Amino acid sequence: MLTKRIIPCLDVRDGRTVKGVNFTNLRDMGCPVELGLMYESQGADELMFLDITASVEGRAAMLEFVERVADTLSIPFTVGGGVSSRENVTDLLNAGADKVSMNTAAVNRPELINEVSTQFGSQCCVVAIDARKKDTGDGWEVLIKGGRETTGLDALAWAEECAKRGAGEILLTSWNRDGMQNGFDLEMVKAFSESLPIPVIASGGAANPESFVEVFQKAGADAALAASIFHDKLYSIADVKEAVKSAGISVRD
């Protein structure tokens, strides 16, 4: 069995970690570098830093911040937000990021996925998909610009296209569950995990350590990401890993 990954997510705005519900009503959660160090010490496998206003403001992610993170942390980290060109990816990787996540720009110009995976390798090419249940109840649609705009794109079909274009993994966030702490969207994660040939990172709705057990056992996620339960110190990375290991699921110590 492949080892499952536990990934804290830090949404960053104006150099601070923030967290909300359904991408709104943001609360200040502290310094992202300090939080990153704390999560590393707790045993996080990777970290995800998302500059949540970069796409809306039409700018690239903050390189000085990425350099600070790279100088401080020893575990792999992914940076997303405002990544819209190969030049952006080059800058972020040179600043120390291990992977780069694309969302809005990839939807607007899918060829960007091909370009990044070809030049830098699929291993560092993450496509983030913010998905919301369709009004019809049949499947999910893609949202962009931090959940502010609908696209009409079928999320699963888009994920399949991303994989064909060279994406190394999909960061799948349930808009309906984001910040709600009522569990991952197992139906959605299962549908994506079973359909895609690349790893799926489940995001949105983690409530407790058992949520991680469920998304691994019942939905087949390769990794699971959370923010609120870690930022609010409801549970630690160690709590989650202990529960996952107790369920017979392979995780790193």
Please give the sequence-ordered ranges of beta strands (E in DSSP) within the chain, or none if there are none. 5-13, 16-21, 24-30, 47-51, 77-80, 99-102, 125-133, 140-144, 149-154, 169-174, 200-203, 223-226
Q: Is 11 a catalytic residue?
A: yes
Catalytic member of 11, 51, 178, 222: 11
Concerning whether 138 is annotated as a catalytic residue, the answer is: no
Q: Is 137 exposed, middle or buried (0-12, 13-18, 19+ CB in 10 A)?
A: exposed
Residues 6+ apart with CB under 8 A from 183: 177, 205, 206, 207, 211, 214
Q: Which of 45, 130, 178, 222 is catalytic?
A: 130
Positive/negative CA dihedral, 194, 204, 153, 93: negative
Q: Are 219 and 193 in contact (CB under 8 A)?
A: yes
Active site residues: 11, 130
